Chain A
Amino acid sequence: MKDKLLGKINIRSIIQHFLAAFIVLILIFSMMGTDITIDGVDGEISYPIRDADRARVYEESYLFNNILGNNISQVLRLVAQRSQLETGGEYDGNKVIDVTAYVNRGSVMLGGYITAHYKLSDLLKWAQNGFETERKHMTAEECADFLAPNTTYTHLKNNVVSGGMNSYLSSQLDDNSITSVKEGSGEFSEGDYEILSSRYATVDGKNIEDIVSSWDEYETLSQSVQSASVALLSNYTEYGRGIEYYSNDNSNLKYLVTRTINGKTEVYSNIPNISSAYDSNATLEKFKSYGKYIYYCPNELSYETNTLIKETVLRSIIKNYSYAYPDQIKIYVGVDTNEYKCNDDFTQGRTGFSRYIPFRSQLYLVLALFIFLYILLLIISLAQIPVITDLSENRIFTEGIVLKGLSIIAVPVIITYLVVTTYTGNLEKLYENPIVLILTGIGVFIADMGLLDLIYGLTRKGKSGLLWKDSLIKKMSFGARDLVVSTTNNASVIIRLWIPYAIYVVINILLILLGIPGIITAVILDVIVGLLIYRQTLDRDKIIHVIENIQKGDVSAKVDTDNLHGDNIGLAEAVNSIGDGIKKAVDTSMKDEKLKADLITNVSHDIKTPLTSIINYVDLIKREKIDNERVKEYVDVLELKSQKLKQLTEDLVDVAKITSGNISINLQKTDFVELVNQTIGEFYEKLEDNKLTPIFKYEEQGMSITADPHHLWRVVDNLLNNVCKYALSGTRVYMDMKYVQGKDNKKKVEFSIKNISSSELNIDVSELTERFIRGDASRTTEGSGLGLSIAKNLTVAQGGTFEIKLDGDLFKVVIAFEAV
């Protein structure tokens, strides 16, 4: 059953892992799909795909037009470069470059200017090899000798600055320049001069110093030569790539640019064999046949296109290369959307576009469905996780589950991180690789395994209520706590109390040092600690109150543990259980006493009946005439002992009743003096018989106490009986009654009775009031030995105190009651 269930979960988990992998892949798709990276001529360019494109075909999309716009820009740049480097549509190394006009190709030059004409190939080589300069010290004569005596100026015959023409274009016209010579000043000063090594000469075979007559002019022309060379070299490099990239074989983009300067038309195109057979209308028709086309002629103000590219876009591009594009140009651009023969930007764009866009909404639907399914499976699995019932089995720590899950998740995450951080190329491109996608899927699969393992493991623990119980933190913290407790339990109060207090004070001081926020925190902390201490004290008070009640005798008093906190609950429970224990003990002992009393009473009754017969028949024997004196003696012993037995049983019942609390006590105001006098009266003969003289002294008449008169009489009666039995014959018995101040500052009446014992008092005071203990250990004399015990118990039962004092043969009993 368990295995089956686990099997189910496993299959379900595998499904979940797959779902997770798909979800992540779809997310990557949808994220990556928003950008298409195309490897253009200038390197990779990322194109965003707009939502508006979703409803369009590729050729109508913004994406397509973005690509087109970029490509047009590139092509027009290429054409501008071609115009610099080509003659008749081919690279011409012999092309003559007017360096000053070239350097200033963006602006108009008026009047004459100093320039030098070099072969294009010479300039390019010069730039490639680098310019060498030499610092030379020259005297004035040497300077005059080095530089030309005259400066050669070049003038453009036809320097057209209208119709999009400029000085640069004019300079390129054949036979459009004349030179004039202006005499230099011839004044030179001796000094150090920077001389450019003349690697190449101009087309006329001249060097720079042959053209200029001053150092300033030399400097300017030298700079122009260097600048022109570097710029041309840069363009030449780019030009090579552009020609290749936008060749007819490599690009679906076709272009044709014509430019007419002074009636002479140049054609720049990537379509082979079209230059010679150029015809305006035929060309336009041809470009239209490509699918997407643009035709632009600034001079005719005509702009024609079936793309989204606007004229302004084209115009702004042309403006960047205005030196190359006069008004008399015609630009034809077409994209062969019929075949996409070449793997260029457009083809890449189409691939990207077709890969993502058409399924995007469906993709989202699938994504939502997968997520729903995943969550559904998760919920079902969570619901079906069994509770751990066998607590004896070895369980791993909660942290172990977390660690296991996290480490499984970590593997793909770390790999992904490493790949992402180390891979320098475009990540979107990376994801176009199917192997990467599969690897990603596997990674997510593994990560999901770890995640589900973690979730299910924790849920299982949580359901079984073991989440915290099984945690290592708990075990460690409890261990630490136990350690602290075990060490502090044995530690002195100083360690237990003063160290936390010292830490508290230090925290306070530190907080106060932190300034206003610290002080506020300290105040809040102090208030909280104060409230906690207050709560603690309240709890303690409750417990102490109950302890006091128990002490007073209310053993059923209980602490209500509901409103207590922390350690006090344990303390309260301990107090409650102590109370319970005492109550139980008291109840048991009371029950036992009652049972004992009942037992003694019942036994006494059972003794009394046969005793009646004994007493009666002994009496009857005595009434018979007995001649034998010894028999008479024996009968006397029998009579004496049977009477003693009678007394003993009665005393026993009394003691049992008193000690078990089975007597009723009616307290009332009692004249103690009167009572003692009455009792002495009762004992008068008996005392006289024993040759004892009672002497009773009292402070005043009517010294009254609160007592039960009948019981009080029993006390005094027993004391006097005791005196009669044990006092030394012929002595006086002193009785005193006086007021005393009790320990609790209450006025008391104290009655003492003292006599000289006839026999040695070889006994402990406390034993005298114990049952069956008498002053003499022999127990031969009359009396049950219960007299003092009864007297003491009765006195205490009435709220008095009973004390026996022995001093040699002096026997003294002191009883005291609260005075009225």
Chain B
Amino acid sequence: MENILVCDDDKEIVDAIEIYLEQEGFRIYKAYDGIEALEVLKSAKIQLAIVDVMMPRMDGIHLVRELRKFSTIPVVFLSAKSEDSDKILGLNIGADDYITKPFNPLELVARVKSNLRRFMTLGSLEDKENVYSTGGLVIDDNSKECFVYGESIKLTPIEYNILAFLVKNKGKVYSINQIYEQIWKDSAVCADNTIAVHIRHIREKIEINPKDPKYLKVVWGVGYKIEDEVI
């Protein structure tokens, strides 16, 4: 049973998060500003912190800076600021994930779980032959199976082939036609949106939020790729 710190100056949000996470079996510590949160972090053994950015007394940015001096636990930022620059700043100072308000409770829970799993299983992944991975996504080419943080994902053969091809060549961008040729071993007479539809299906299966994918990313106007380094 992991201990999770939820810190937000809005009490109702903290309470709601508590309800969701307690249902998943986590133990919740609550704090309403950065100073309180720091005290809790120092006094209790916390495995993950959900931190609002804008808070009175000490804001989330300062809190994470202080926290990183003595702890490496995953931190999920929670903020009403949705600008890219805000996200980048948060991640740069040591946060592990960034969720914008208003958030989907299910997404929050999924992200919390994923971050915890990454934290717990970090470095335990064995190198096997024909097993390819990026972040928590693992493709076992032997069994033709796909896992996200150990959870088996059910994919159609075409979906598996596309994902496996992209994971094997992670970081590289492939256009619809290139993917088509790879999968069907046939030259693409004319590209259509079939591949795009498959990609979307894959994303819905492996991503927590398909609209904000972590693994399978769209490079608009160019193609698709699997992110090489996933946080």
Contacts and interface: CB of A to CB of B under 8 A. Distances in A.
A613 B12 contact: yes
Contacts of B75: none
Interface in B163-204: 175-177, 190-200
Contacts of A696: 192-193
A678 B176 contact: yes
Nearest to A701: B191
A673 interface: yes
Interface in B131-180: 175-177
Contact size class for B? 35 or more
Contact of A701 (B190, B195, B197, B222): B190
B24 interface: no
Given A608-B101, A611-B102, A677-B191, A620 B196 contact: no
Contact of B193 (A606, A617, A680): A680
A459 B131 CA distance: 108
Nearest to A705: B221
Interface in A615-641: 615-617, 619-620
A612 B176 contact: no
A266 interface: no
Nearest to A604: B80
A236 B162 CA distance: 164
B82 A680 contact: no
Interface in B2-33: 10, 12-13, 16-17, 19-20
A571 interface: no
A620 to B, nearest CB: 6
B203 to A, nearest CB: 9
B16 A609 contact: no
A710 B221 CA distance: 9
A709 B222 contact: yes
Contacts of B80: 604-606, 608-609, 612
Contact of B197 (A615, A646, A673, A684): A684
B221 A616 contact: no
Contacts of A677: 176, 191-193, 196
A675 interface: yes
Given A681-B195, A684-B196, A613 B218 contact: no
Interface of chain A, main secondary structure: helix
Contact of B101 (A612, A682, A709, A713): A612
A672 interface: yes
B101 A681 contact: no
Interface string A284-305: 0000000000000000000000
A470 interface: no
Nearest to A717: B220
Q: Considering residues B80, B218, B221, which has the most beta carbons from chain A within 10 angstroms of its beta carbon?
A: B221
Interface in A695-727: 696, 701, 707, 709-710, 712-713
Q: Considering residues B17, B80, B195, B223, which has the most beta carbons from chain A within 10 angstroms of its beta carbon?
A: B80
Q: Considering residues B193, B200, B220, which has the most beta carbons from chain A within 10 angstroms of its beta carbon?
A: B220
B220 A670 contact: yes
B119 interface: no
B102 A619 contact: no
A230 interface: no
A653 interface: yes
A671 interface: yes
A734 to B, nearest CB: 15
Contact of A612 (B19, B102, B193): B102
A670 to B, nearest CB: 4
B102 A615 contact: yes
A614 to B, nearest CB: 8
Contact of B220 (A605, A613, A616, A710): A710
Interface in A224-252: none
Q: Considering residues B13, B102, B104, B198, which has the most beta carbons from chain A within 10 angstroms of its beta carbon?
A: B102
Contacts of A616: 12-13, 16-17, 20, 102, 105
Interface of B: 10, 12-13, 16-17, 19-20, 80-82, 100-105, 175-177, 190-200, 218-224
The 7 closest A-B pairs by CB, nearest first: A681-B196, A670-B221, A709-B220, A616-B16, A675-B221, A612-B102, A608-B80
6 contacts: A609-B101, A613-B16, A616-B16, A682-B200, A709-B220, A710-B220
Given A610-B10, A678-B218, A707-B221, 17 more contacts: A606-B80, A608-B80, A609-B13, A609-B80, A613-B12, A615-B102, A616-B16, A616-B17, A646-B102, A672-B221, A679-B196, A679-B220, A680-B196, A682-B200, A694-B193, A712-B220, A713-B220
